[in-house]
Chains A and B, each alone.
Chain A
C-alpha cells in the first residue's frame, strides 16, 4: 500500500532514529511512504500557544497538500504532528466558521478526505495478524512497558484513538511481534515534555517516576511513539541517576524500532545506535535467543 508521509521536523533531526526506523520498517512491510510535496512545519506547541488560528492553519496547509496529492491516509509518526493534524481535521470538519477562516489564511481548501495515522496506527492499518506473520526474529519474552504519554490520545474527543486513561493499542502491536507488554500504572503520565530545557529538575522528577514504575513492574525496555517522550526518558536517565542516586539503565525504543527488529530489519538501518542508553543489547538478545532455547532443550 502507498500512503502519504509527513516526517515533520523531528524525524529528520533530533529523532532521526524514529524517522529511519519508520522508513525502514515500512519498506520491509511493503508500505510505500511518499512525502507530502512541499510540506511545512506542523506548528507544534509553539504555534497553538501563540495563536489558535495559526495552530490550525499550519497543519491545515499540510492536510490540503496531502489531499491534493491524492493521499487518503497520511502517516505522521511524531505524536505532536499527528496530534495537531488530527485536531485540525476534526475542528475544520465540525466548525464551518473556523474552516472558512483557516481557508482564508492558507488560501487553500481542505475537504476532510485525509486520515492521519500515528506510528501505532500504521501497524494497526497494516493488520496485526498480518504483522505477526512477518515476524522472523521474535523478541520472545522481552518484557516491555508501553508508554503512550499525552499526545497520542488527548484530547480524546478530537483524537478518537484508544482509551485516553488506559490505552492498549500499542500493547497489542507489541504482543503481535512477540514481546510481552507488562501491566503498569504510568502509561499516560506526563513526562514533562518541553520543560526538558527550562525545568530539567521537574522533568527528571517526572521521568524518574515513570522509569521506576516500569522497572518495578518488570519491564526490560520502554516502548514509545513520540520523540519528546523518547528524548526525556532516554537522554535524561544519566541526569536522573545523578540527581536521585538511582541506577536506571533501561533502553527506550520506538515502536517502529521494535517492530523493525522483529521482522528482521538490520539494527543499523533502524538507527538504534543513536540512543543515549544502549539499545543495541536488545539486538544481542535477539540473536542469543535461539541458542538459549537449544541450551535449555539439551
Chain B
C-alpha cells in the first residue's frame, strides 16, 4: 500500500483566487493511498518546504505530489526538498494547478473540480514511480561564443580568463560588431573605438581563444556539457597565415565603389577589403559577389601585387567540427528598415519619411559614421547629398519603436540616450547649428543618464519637441519636417538640412531560423528567450546555452557587457565540476523482447540509438538489438511510440504510469 502526501500551494492569490484550496486538500485527502493532504500559502517558501520534509518523516511517505505551478518553475525546488528527507527525488511529482488551471479559468467551482482531477492523476502516477538515479556525464570544458560584438568579446575574454578554451565565431570579416561603428558613447562621451579596440586585440591574442571570423555556426548537436558543433569557415580567398595586412591589394583593387556595410552605405570599399582600418584580424577577404575575378574571370590584380603570394582564388569553404560544453549566443541586433521594404508583413515602414528617396534622411548608425573620426567624412558632420555642413538637424525618436501601427510595440531602450548624444555631439562640432529632437517621452533610466539629457537641453541648447512627425518633404535643398507639438497643442514645421531617424532595434532577420538551428526559443518579435525573465536572465531553456547582449532584448553597451560577464560566469560555474548530473529520464530497450526492427533507430531525432550485438560467452553472435546511448537520449519518447513490440520504455514515464494517469482521469 502506498503512502502518498499531497501538498497544495495557494501561490499567494495566483491559485487560491480561482481554486478552492481548502476543498482541494480535503478531497485529495480522501484519495486511496493518500496519508496526508494539506494546503499552504507559499509551498515553495522555507516553511512550506519544511512542511513537506516533516510530513515525509512523520507519515513515512513513499511519494509526494505538490499541486502548484508548472514543473518548469519549481520541480527542482521540491525535488531538492524531498531529498533532504531521504526520499529519492523522482518520487516527487508536481500537479500543475496554476498554468493549467487557475490562470486559464474563471469559474471557481469548475476550476476546483479540474484541480481535484489533476491531483488524482498525479497521485496515481506517483504510486507507480520508481527510484531513479542521475546519469553522470563528463563535461567538455571548452565554450563556443557565437558573435564577436562587444557582448561576445566580453564573454569570450571572461571565460578565457577563467582558464578555459573558447571558440569565438564571427560572421563578418572582423570582430567588433556594431560598437566598432559608434562614435562616442553615452553618458561619458568616451570614444567607442578607444575602449573597444584593445579588447578586440586581446581576443585575437589570447592563446586560449580560437577566433574564426567570416564564419558561421552551421549545426549544433548534443546536450549540455557535450555539444558537437559545425562551423562553416567561408572562403576568405586570402591565406591569413601568410598575409601581413600591408594593404597593397585593397589599394590596387579596381572595384572601388561598393557601398561599405561598415559605413552603412555612406562610404565605399573595394572587393578585397578589411571592413575598417582597425579590423581584427587585419587580413582582408574577397567579396566574391563583387570581385571581377569571380564574376568575369578577369583582373587578378590583387594576386599580382601581393608580394607574399597570399591570395588564393581557389580557396573553398571549410567545415570545422568542434566539441564544446557550453554555448554563449551573442548575435546582436539589426536596425528597423525605414522604407516600404520590410522583412515581414507586420512591419509597415515609414514611406512618408522618404528615407529611401532623400539622401539627407539618414538613420542613427549612419549619423554615428558621420560623427566618427574614422568615418567617411573623418568626423566632420557633412550631409550625404552635397557635403554641406547642416545648420539645422532634426532628430526623430521612436521610428518603429512603440508604434504598434507600424508593427513594433516594444521600446528600443537606447534611442532616447543616443539621440541626446547625437544632438550634443552635433552641437559640439557645429557651434552655430541648431538640433531639434522630436520625442514621445524621454526614457533616461540609468546611472548618470538623466543628467546627460539635462546637459543636452541646458548646456547645448537642444530643442526638444514632444510629438510625432507626420511627414518629411523636400523644399529646395532643405527638408521640411512636419509634426505635432503636443505640449503647446499646435502643428510645427521645422526646416532642416539633415534628418536623423532613431530606428528601432530589431532581431537579426534570420534570428528565428538560427534559434531553431541551435535549439533555443525566441519570442514573437524574434529576440531570444531567457529561461526566466527575472531570475534566470542569461540562461535559455536549453541547458548549457546562454545569452548575452542585444540578441535577447534591446540594450545598451553597459547592459550588454554585464549580461556577457554573467553568461561567462554561468559557463565557469558549469565548468567547475568534472562531471555533470543528467536527468535519468531516458529510454531503455528491453533486450529480451526487442526484435531489432530498427524503427526506433530511424525515428530518433537525436541519433541516440544504435545497434548492439548480443554474443554468447564464446563470442558467437546470437542476435542484434537496439541500444540507447544514455548520454545522448533527450527523453522525448519518440522511440517508445514507434516500437511495435513495446520493448522501449521511458524511465519516469513508462506505460504503466501513463495508463494509470489516463484511468484516473476517467474515474468519477
Contacts and interface: CB of A to CB of B under 8 A. Distances in A.
Contacts, number: 32
Interface stretch (A16-24, A48-56, A179-187): A179-187
A165 interface: yes
Nearest to A166: B351
A213 B472 CA distance: 12
Contact of B351 (A165, A213, A216, A217): A165
Interface of A: 163, 165-166, 168, 183-186, 188, 213, 216-217
A166 B474 contact: no
A165 B338 CA distance: 13
Interface string B344-367: 000010111010010000000000
A166 B473 contact: no
B646 interface: no
A185 B473 contact: yes
Given A163-B340, A166-B340, A216 B352 contact: no
A216 B480 CA distance: 13
B350 A213 contact: no
Given A165-B350, A165-B352, A166-B351, A185 B474 contact: yes
A184 B352 CA distance: 10
Contact of B473 (A163, A168, A213): A213
Given A165-B471, A213-B473, A213-B475, A185 B351 contact: no
Contacts of B348: 163
Interface residues of B, number: 14
Interface string B466-480: 000001111110001
B474 A217 contact: yes
A158 to B, nearest CB: 14
A220 B545 CA distance: 63
A213 B482 CA distance: 14
Nearest to B351: A166
A213 B354 CA distance: 15
A190 to B, nearest CB: 11
B475 A216 contact: yes
Interface in B546-589: none
B586 to A, nearest CB: 52
A120 B153 CA distance: 55
30 contacts: A163-B340, A163-B348, A165-B350, A165-B351, A165-B352, A165-B471, A166-B340, A166-B350, A166-B351, A166-B352, A166-B354, A168-B351, A183-B354, A183-B357, A184-B473, A184-B474, A185-B354, A185-B471, A185-B472, A185-B473, A185-B474, A185-B475, A185-B480, A186-B473, A188-B352, A213-B473, A213-B475, A216-B475, A216-B476, A217-B474
A216 B476 CA distance: 8
A183 B474 contact: yes
A166 B352 CA distance: 5
Interface string B191-210: 00000000000000000000
A165 B354 CA distance: 10
User: Which 5 residue pairs spanning A and B have beta carbons closest together?
Assistant: A185-B473, A166-B351, A165-B352, A163-B351, A166-B352
Nearest to B472: A185
Contacts of B354: 166, 183, 185
Nearest to B340: A163
Contacts of A163: 340, 348, 351
Most chain A beta-carbon neighbours within 10 Å: one of B354, B472, B473: B473
Contacts of A166: 340, 350-352, 354
Contacts of A188: 352
Given A183-B474, A216-B475, 6 more contacts: A163-B351, A165-B350, A168-B351, A183-B357, A185-B354, A185-B471
Contacts of A185: 354, 471-475, 480
Contacts of A184: 473-474
Most chain B beta-carbon neighbours within 10 Å: one of A166, A168, A186: A166
Contacts of B340: 163, 166
Contacts of B474: 183-185, 217
Contacts of A186: 473
A284 to B, nearest CB: 30
Contacts of A217: 474
Interface string B441-470: 000000000000000000000000000000
B193 to A, nearest CB: 37
Nearest to B482: A185
A217 to B, nearest CB: 7
Contacts of B471: 165, 185
A169 to B, nearest CB: 12
A157 B273 CA distance: 47
